[in-house]
Chains A and B, each alone.
Chain A
Amino acid sequence: MKTWTGSSLRNPAGDGCVRFCIAMAVAILFVFASASASPIWGQSQRDQVCQGSYGGGCGTAPSRRNEPRQPSARDLEVERHNQGVHIYNAGAVAYSKGDYATALDLYQQALAILPRDRDCLAAIPRTHGYMAYKQGDYASALAYYQQALAFLPHDRYLLDSVAEIHGMIAAKQGEAAWNRKDIAAALAFYQQAYAYYPDNTWRDNIANARKALDNKDATAKIQGIVDSFPKLAAQTSTASDLSFDDFGGSTGADTKKGLLGTKDSNPTLEGRATGPATVGTDTKAGDQLLSAAKTAEHAGDLTANYDRGTAVASGSLVFPKGGVDLSTYSERAKKDPQVISMLKELDSLQARRSALEHERDALVKQRNDAANKVEMDKATAELDKKETEYQNNVTLISQKSKDLEKRHREIDTEVEAPKAK
């Protein structure tokens, strides 16, 4: 983040005191010009100047030739005033050269001569203010400039400086906030700084802070989307119809699993078919039964995870198990007859899906409780049919959900996709 480095502080020599000097200089030039243009007048004026040697001596009584005139009280006053101005100007020169200590000293001298001169009164706190500003001590600088403003309340330079320092203080706070990664606070401070003083650096800082804030917000949202992605490694695959025995010699039983780990099973039944759950391995009779039972559990249902993950990730692009999330649908979309019809159809399919899950669970239990092979085969056949029906139901739900989403997109403006300019 850049910091403001420039300064628009003016040379104090350009202020009220200087205006007085310029006026004096113009007057002197006028006198000299008149003298050269008119010998008579010039003599007279030259006499005044030479004899009196006081720029402000116009109007004093003519003195005798070759006899120095005694300065009047006014002459002395003018001379003293001029001396003060001269010292003040010397202070301004020192100031402009960056010799602030000398400048302060000279301003003090000028002030001793011109104790009520507002420029001299303001010059000292202004110089202190600028010195503090240069050292980055904005609080002190502000206090000094405000002191100076008390003497020159309408001075544009001082007013600008105070605003600028207010801005600098805010910008400094903004920078501190930025460094501690509190971007929102940084933005607020930069905006405050810019309101005090519309500097381009602060405008750029505002833009950068806004961008950083946007990025932070987007990062959190994207992280949320990514975090909702299902942990695939935790899911047990039900895709394989194979066992390790299928690929070489084995001492294990010759068993194969069907869609639910039940088809073509040939367990040796001794009473009730039970055994340890070892999904995906076929070593003991009864494993398939528990495998089937496990598979039937919702937690192990890949489709359930898929639906949930997608719904979270893409704003209900796929029909979630709990129903369609209508929060992204406009009123127009919700009232669309086609959407209503599709929703009803999906509800019906979803209800069937839940029923099928219960029926499937019941059949798994029935098969687990089978007293003999005949009963078990019967339950197995039923279970396979039920599983097929379930898979078809899921496929249909998926298809109908896509159709619904398509219709939704047709009606509503895309939420997730960018809008064409």
Chain B
Amino acid sequence: MVRNRVVVLMMAVFLVCVAVPAFAQLSPEAQQAIQNGRDAAQQKDYLAAIRYFEEARAAAPNAPEIYGYLGLAESKIGGRELRAVAWYGAYLAANPRAGNAAAVNNAIAELLKTSENNISLLMKTWEAAVAKMPDSVDRGPHTNGFGRDFSWENVGTWYARYGSIEDARRIAHAIPSPGMAGGVFDAIIETQVEAGDMAGAKRTLKSIHDATSREIAKDYFDHAEKLRKDDEVTAGAAVSDWTELFVAGAPPGLDGEMFTDLAASMHPSASGRSDLLESGYSEPWIMVGQLSYVANNLGSMQRKIKRMLKVQAAQQGTQ
């Protein structure tokens, strides 16, 4: 009889452990914040939901489910896909065997796809903006000339980094300055070498007509293996890497707000623009610079996240 009671008690303890969700194990403050966040989300006020979930995280910093809530709330706001991915990454890093890991991975894939679409649109917007720059646009008070070519080089380089080799090549061939065209070809070579496309990289090398760019390209060839490995070596995918990604690693402009409403962030009254104008920078240059800033930072963050996901997948595969 006593033995039966012990068994029943053990079963009850087991059931409590299994059945009671993590939510219930959190402090009352965290639970209340989560509830508030969910209520806000139900009202579709996702920014408020995020604030509540952050409160919950402050009360329970190591609770994986809060990362999940944050990821989901972020994913509901267009333009904040990468932030959502970062929270989902933290959720999976903290809880690799989560029952919904497959669904979370699917969500990550979808979010990355949306982010890529947005970036693609951003690149086209950037390119269209550069095309509207005057030929003679000054880069600033201390630099003259090459303003437009300089911008083209930037656009081409980022096309290459996003893997749009064809677009990058199109831009590079159209840049009059051999050095700046060479910069784009270098970026193409870097991408090709990273991807292991050595034959393609060698073909690209033939398009370079200036010595400096050839030197840089040669360096990519010489350190091809290192280039391929570097990304993975430098990308950590621990929980803190994910949770800190948009805290420590994000540039100021990429706090989510900037890309969610590009036009508002680039309004003439936007901060910084008048200061730059007074410093002698031309307005087209400032605007294209703003686009370049968003595209570069967003692109860098996306590349970093992809590397982290790769590392995370490899780590979880070996576990």
| Interface status of B196 (Cβ within 8 A of chain A) | no
In the complex, A248 Cα to B30 Cα: how many Å? 13
Residues from chain A with Cβ under 8 Å of B186 in the complex: none
Residues from chain B with Cβ under 8 Å of A14 in the complex: none
Q: Are B78 and A232 within 8 A (Cβ)?
A: yes
Q: Are A215 and B282 within 8 A (Cβ)?
A: yes
Q: Are A248 and B282 within 8 A (Cβ)?
A: no
> Which range contains the number of A residues in contact with the other chain?
35 or more
In the complex, A214 Cα to B118 Cα: how many Å? 30
Q: Are A420 and B42 within 8 A (Cβ)?
A: no
| Interface status of A218 (Cβ within 8 A of chain B) | yes
Q: Are A218 and B134 within 8 A (Cβ)?
A: yes
In the complex, A218 Cα to B138 Cα: how many Å? 13
Q: Are B72 and A236 within 8 A (Cβ)?
A: no
Q: Is the interface of B mostly helix, strand, loop or mixed?
A: helix
Residues from chain A with Cβ under 8 Å of B103 in the complex: 241-242, 246, 256
Residue picked from A239, A313, A406, A416, most chain B C-beta under 10 Å: A239
- Who on chain B is nearest to A229 by CB? B262
Mark A260-297 against chain B: 1 for CB-CB distance below 8 A, else 0. Answer: 00000000000000000011110100000000000000
| Interface status of B276 (Cβ within 8 A of chain A) | no
- Who on chain A is nearest to B266 by CB? A226
Q: Are A250 and B23 within 8 A (Cβ)?
A: yes
Stretch at the interface among A84-92, A302-310, A332-340: A302-310
| Interface status of A392 (Cβ within 8 A of chain B) | no
CB B280 to nearest CB in A, in angstroms, measures 12
Residues from chain A with Cβ under 8 Å of B173 in the complex: 420
CB B228 to nearest CB in A, in angstroms, measures 28
| Interface status of B227 (Cβ within 8 A of chain A) | no
- Who on chain B is nearest to A417 by CB? B174
| Interface status of B226 (Cβ within 8 A of chain A) | no
Interfacial residues of chain A within 222-270, with CB under 8 A of chain B in the complex: 222-223, 225-237, 239-244, 246-250, 256
In the complex, A306 Cα to B120 Cα: how many Å? 10
Q: Are B170 and A280 within 8 A (Cβ)?
A: no
Q: Are B134 and A239 within 8 A (Cβ)?
A: no
Q: Are B69 and A232 within 8 A (Cβ)?
A: no
- Who on chain A is nearest to B166 by CB? A406
| Interface status of A154 (Cβ within 8 A of chain B) | no
Q: Are A249 and B24 within 8 A (Cβ)?
A: yes
Q: Are B68 and A248 within 8 A (Cβ)?
A: yes
Residues from chain A with Cβ under 8 Å of B120 in the complex: 310
In the complex, A415 Cα to B152 Cα: how many Å? 14
Contact of A414 among B104, B174, B291 (CB under 8 A): B174
- Who on chain B is nearest to A311 by CB? B124
- Who on chain A is nearest to B148 by CB? A418
Residues from chain A with Cβ under 8 Å of B124 in the complex: 310, 313-314, 317-318
| Interface status of A74 (Cβ within 8 A of chain B) | no
Q: Are B72 and A249 within 8 A (Cβ)?
A: no
Residue picked from A230, A232, A236, A313, most chain B C-beta under 10 Å: A232
Once A280-B44, A420-B174 are accepted as A-B contacts, the answer to whether A239 and B148 lie under 8 Å apart by CB is: no
Once A242-B100, A244-B72 are accepted as A-B contacts, the answer to whether A313 and B125 lie under 8 Å apart by CB is: yes
Residues from chain B with Cβ under 8 Å of A281 in the complex: 38, 41-42, 44
